[in-house]
C-alpha cells in the first residue's frame, strides 16, 4: 500500500529537518575548527554525517512506499557561538526539538494507522534518546572543563577519535 499524501508531506518535512540539522552541525564543525578545537570540529562533522544518513533513511523509505520526495529549501543555520559550551547548549536544544518532530511524525503514523511507517520510525525514536543523552553528557563535561584548559584539551582529543559508522536504519 502506498503512503498517504499526508504522511508523504510529513516525511518530506522531516527530511528537510534532518538536512537542516546536518547543516547546523557542519556550521558548528567549521567554527570549532576556526577555534582550533579539532576534536570538537571532528565530533560535529560526524554529527553532520549522521544527520545526512538520517535524512537519506527517511528519503529512501518514502520512495520505497511510493511517495514523492520534494526537497525544500534548507534554512541557513547560525554560524557563530560564544564558545564550545554554547555550541553544546544549542545542540541539546536542537536535539530536543528534533525529538518533538519525530514524536509528532510517529503520532501521525499511528493516527493514520500506517503501521509500517510507525514501525520504521521506532528506530528514529530510539536514536533521539541516544542523541539527547550524548549531547547532554558532552555539555556537562564541557561546563566542568570550562575554566580548565587541560580538561578541555583532553575532551577535545577524545572527541577527535570519533569515527562515522553509517547507521543501519529501520
Q: Which CATH number characterizes residue 13's domain? A: 1.20.1260.10
The pTM assigned to this predicted structure is: 0.96
| Confidence at residue 169, expressed as pLDDT on a 0 to 100 scale | 93
Let me know if residue 30 belongs to a domain.
yes
| Confidence at residue 1, expressed as pLDDT on a 0 to 100 scale | 72
Let me know if residue 164 belongs to a domain.
no
Confidence of residue 170 (pLDDT cuts 50, 70, 90): confident
Let me know if residue 169 belongs to a domain.
no
For the segment 28-33, the average pLDDT, to the nearest whole number, is 98
**Which residue range(s) make up the domain with 36?**
5-159
What's phi and psi for 71, nearest 5 deg?
-80, 125
Let me know if residue 166 belongs to a domain.
no
Let me know if residue 170 belongs to a domain.
no
Let me know if residue 152 belongs to a domain.
yes
Let me know if residue 108 belongs to a domain.
yes
Number of domains in the chain: 1
Give the pLDDT confidence of 98-141 residue by residue, as tens digits.
999 999 999 999 999 999 999 999 999 999 999 999 999 999 99
Give the pLDDT confidence of 36-52 residue by residue, as tens digits.
999 999 999 999 999 99
Let me know if residue 167 belongs to a domain.
no
Amino acid at each position: 500500500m502506498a503512503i498517504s499524501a499526508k504522511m508523504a508531506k510529513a516525511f518530506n518535512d522531516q527530511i528537510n529537518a534532518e538536512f537542516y540539522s546536518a547543516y547546523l552541525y557542519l556550521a558548528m564543525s567549521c567554527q570549532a575548527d576556526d577555534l582550533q578545537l579539532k576534536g570538537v570540529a571532528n565530533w560535529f562533522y560526524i554529527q553532520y554525517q549522521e544527520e545526512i544518513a538520517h535524512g537519506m533513511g527517511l528519503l529512501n523509505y518514502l520512495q520505497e512506499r511510493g511517495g514523492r520526495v520534494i526537497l525544500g529549501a534548507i534554512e541557513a543555520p547560525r554560524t557563530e557561538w560564544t564558545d564550545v559550551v554554547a555550541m553544546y547548549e544549542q545542540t541539546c536544544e536542537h536535539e530536543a526539538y528534533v525529538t518533538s518532530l519525530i514524536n509528532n511524525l510517529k503520532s501521525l503514523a499511528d493516527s493514520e494507522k500506517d503501521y509500517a511507517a510507525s514501525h520504521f520510525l521506532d528506530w528514529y525514536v530510539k536514536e533521539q534518546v541516544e542523541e539527547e543523552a550524548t549531547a547532554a553528557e558532552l555539555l556537562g563535561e564541557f561546563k566542568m572543563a570550562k575554566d580548565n584548559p587541560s580538561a578541555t584539551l583532553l575532551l577535545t582529543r577524545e572527541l577527535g577519535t570519533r569515527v562515522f559508522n553509517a547507521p543501519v536504519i529501520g
